Structure 1
Amino acid sequence: MTDQNPIDRAATEPSAASAGLRVLIVDDHSIFRSGLRAELEADITVLGEAATVDEAIARVIDLQPRVVLLDVHLPGGHGGGGAEVIREAAPRAPNTLFLALSVSDAADDVVSVIRAGARGYITKSASGAEVSEAARRVSEGDAVFSPRLAGFVLDAFGAVAGETAETTEELDRLSARETEVMRLIARGYSYKEVASTLFIAAKTVETHVSAVLRKLQLSSRHELTAWALERKLL
């Protein structure tokens, strides 16, 4: 049909539906959606697009993408923006993950979507290649954040972790920098990625990791991840 909505066209093309990581682009600016679609790498399949909260919720449920590239500020719904999309759509799309993509780097915006369930938050200054890589990492279970946002995220997780007295005592053994390193390593970041995020040397990261493992009486980064998950620190 020649009058098919271009927003839905990608989802109905057989060759696209069977290839690559399947994503949905959600943003209220059509120029940004078109530009992002054009710049995503070849292994990323765009199933469709949405421009409002209500439209996004419907598309997530209908298309079941692996990753939603989600703007934080969206019209419609009850005024909750991207966070509202996550809260409403996630229970009906259990295999879908959300990567926030926004011009905003305000702490309140970051914390809002992370609390709602987003697995990452990057700014729109990222290149197509960077967004593609972030989407892949999120699809594989990693948490991905722009370097300048890492501090907000770490603070937010510390505030909502619901730490027990025992966990608080264990965390008190670590310095502030060791705690930052611990959380990033536990989320699967490589030493190089932690170094880039925190603007320190990879050798310094290695030193901090050794100290963290010693103080928490753990023997590997895999045990560290299990430790952090058990205490709901991720």
Structure 2
Amino acid sequence: MTAEQQGAGQAATGAGRVPPVRVVVVDDHAMFRAGVRAELAGAVGRGEVDLVAEAADVAEAVAAVRTHAPDVVLLDVHLPGGGGVEVMRQAPAPAGTPGTRYLALSVSDAAEDVIGTIRGGARGYVTKTITGEELVAAVRRVAEGDAVFSPRLAGFVLDAFTGSPDAPPVAAVDEDLDRLTEREREVMRLIARGYAYKEVARELFISPKTVETHMGSVLRKLQLSSRHELTRWASDRRLL
């Protein structure tokens, strides 16, 4: 094979290669961002994904999106500075282009978070229990324009956007939750589902002592006296 033929073959191979999906990871917990990097490492090594930036709050996320114009933003729902919806509001896609697409990746699977995030502009919503392989597939599908949801979350969205009478009362739930910080909401939901303090700590990358502190604050703010009452409170509001 001549040098010219070899060069032509290499060019053809390069031309047929699918470019990597350029991704920005947004989460206020450094340990979780490190976990996402680890889950996506195989795809990065294969050239399927390119992690172009990370951000820990709304301001950093907006700056990263404007600077890098990624294909997909893996976006936590609850962030310092206004939350994931605020990122999408401040960094919209340019008119007439596909622009950046957003895939929510959150510990929360509460109806009001799912519906509010999709109404804010996200193309999908998956929970942090997703496997690395599933996450890569979700990123690729969102980049291609598909809508992607963890299985039980799709029903929330269908109910909300088809006007189903079973759709959760989002505005009312938000008003009740306003007393709690974002971290307290995360702890509250896991405790209400029956998680032990150590299990919550592992899930949220915090210490059991910090979980205990947040739990005490939750009970005090909601004027509840036990995790049994908390579970009933959360169940009544369809947060489980």
Q: TM-score, length-normalised on structure 2?
A: 0.56
The answer on whether the counterparts of 1:19 and 1:45 sit within 8 Å (CA) in structure 2 is no
Residue of structure 2 equivalent to 1:158: 162
State the partner residue of 2:79.
74
RMSD in angstroms over aligned alpha carbons? 1.8
C-alpha displacement of 1:135: 0.6
Please tell me the residue identity of whatever aligns with 1:38.
A
2:51 counterpart residue number: 46
- What one-letter code is carried by the residue in structure 2 that aligns with 1:142? D
Q: Which runs of 5+ in 1 are unaligned?
A: 1-17, 161-234
Q: Of 84, 88, 91, which aligns to 2:90?
A: 88
Residue of 117, 135, 146 corresponding to 2:121: 117
Structure of higher CA gyration radius: 2
1:26 equivalent in alignment to 2:31: no
Q: What is the identity, as a one-letter code, of the residue corresponding to 2:144? A: E
Displacement, 1:87? 1.2
Contact 2:93–2:100 (8 Å) recurs in 1: no
SS in 2 for 1:90: coil
CA distance in 2, matches of 1:157, 1:100: 18
Normalising by structure 1, report the TM-score.
Answer: 0.57
Identity of aligned residues (%): 61
Amino acid corresponding to residue 120 of structure 2 in structure 1: A
Worse-matched range after superposition: 112-121 or 151-160: 151-160
Unmatched 5+ stretches in structure 2: 1-17, 165-240
Give the deviation of 1:91 after TM superposition. 4.0
Contact 1:61 1:92 (C-alpha < 8 Å) held by counterparts: no
Measured after TM superposition, the shift of residue 159 of structure 1 is 3.5
Equivalent position of 1:36 in the other structure: 36
How far apart in 1 are the matches of 2:19 and 2:93?
25
> Displaced runs of 4+ in structure 1, greater than 2 A?
91-94
| Residue aligning to 2:64 | 59
